[in-house]
Each structure stands twice: as C-alpha cells, then as structure tokens.
Amino acid sequence: MILVRQEIGDVLRDYRLQKGRTLRQVAGRASVALGYLSEVERGQKEASSEILASVADALDVPLSVILRRVSDRLAVSEGANANSNMSGMHIPDTVPAELVAHYDASLMSGRI
Amino acid sequence: MILVRQEIGDVLRDYRLQKGRTLRQVAGRASVALGYLSEVERGQKEASSEILASVADALDVPLSVILRRVSDRLAVSEGANANSNMSGMHIPDTVPAELVAHYDASLMSGRI
C-alpha cells in the first residue's frame, strides 16, 4: 500500500533542505512542534490540512506545487508497482495527461 | 486558508458520483464507516493515508490521479485568491509547468 504521507514528507523535506533551512526554522515559522514536523517529514505522522498549509507557507512553496510533486511521485511508485510483474513498460515521471483524460472520458461516457 | 481536505473531499465525491456509486458501496468496498466517508467527502474530516488509499482503490482511480486533480484545484483556488486583489490576470486550471520549474530552478541556483 502506497502511503501519501510518505510522499508528502519526502517532498516537504526536499524543499526544506534545498532552501537550506533547518527543522527548527520551518517549524518555528509554521508554528508547529519541531518533533512533529520531523515525524511528518519521515512519513510517520499525518499532517492535518491546517498544518500542511502552514508548512507550505513557511517554505514559501504553494500548496498546489507541493501536491503536484506528490502526485508525480505517486505516479512513479504506481508505475514501478505495475512494472514489477511486467517488463519493458514505460515508467511515467508524472501523471500522464492521457491517463487523467482516460478516467475523465470514461466517466463522461459512463463506461466505468 | 485553503484546506487540502476540502479539495480531496470534492475530488473523491466527484469520482464517486460520476461512477454512479453510493456512499454505502464505496465505504463498504473501502472498509470504512459510511458516516466517516461522508465527512471526508465534505472536507470535515482528514482521511488518513491508509483510508485514502483504500477509497482510491474502491473507486478504481489511481491515487496519483486523485492527487493530481487536487493539486489542479488548489492551483485554481490560489490563482483566485491572488487575483482577488488584481485584475486581468490569467487564472490557471492546472499547476503551470513553468511554475513548478521555477521553484525547482530557483532551488537549484540557490536563489531562494
């Protein structure tokens, strides 16, 4: 089972590290406990929507960009899982537009 | 403050309704309480990563696609909020690739 909190944690930590900030700085700016933020980054605690918004703001990254990165990572994980039983398949590094369109088109036509 | 759980709830309900399924059917398939799923759809409860994965599976929609839709909706909300003080600005309906690239490029160059 692929867990969103693990992908969210990785994305949050990546942005924090690349901006050269410490857990203390981000936690302080987001008004969350340092230990809690550490567990969120490690995918061991769920971040509430309020906390996610505060941390995104503290990192100066839009929530939409963070969630976009999360969805891209999930696509890679799902592709890897699907490929573990198949060989030679293309592993997407983002949610293919066709895949999203497929689900929407199928819904529209009532085929699902 | 834009809350991710509200966007997640809207996306989950949209897919459920378009597939013509009831709360009872999806909740049953996902092994979650019907009342709880209702609150998740209405953005009043956070869905844990485990529950999110179960519901996505019950809806036959990849988690990556659900989160992609959530990020697109967030981009619209953020664009609308940004535009409330400005006029004539383009409102994106998905996270612009340039925006994501901007944040990554800025991180790489150390400008942020």
Is the Cβ pair B71, A75 closer than 8 Å? no
Please give, rounded to a whole number of angstroms, the shortest distance from the CA of B65 to a CA of chain A.
6
Torsion of the alpha carbons at A31, A36, A40 and A45, rounded to the nearest 10: -130
Cβ-based interface (< 8 Å): residues of B facing A: 1-6, 15, 18-20, 46, 48-50, 52-53, 60-72, 74-75, 77-78, 95, 99-100, 103, 107-108, 110, 112
Is the Cβ pair B107, A19 closer than 8 Å? yes
Q: Per the structure block, which two tokens stand in for B95?
A: 């996270």
User: ipTM of this model?
Assistant: 0.77
Residue-wise pLDDT tens for chain A (112 aa)?
899 999 999 999 999 999 999 999 999 999 999 999 999 999 999 999 999 999 999 999 999 999 999 999 999 999 887 766 555 555 567 888 877 887 777 666 665 4
- Among A9, A64, A59, A13, CA closest to B67: A64
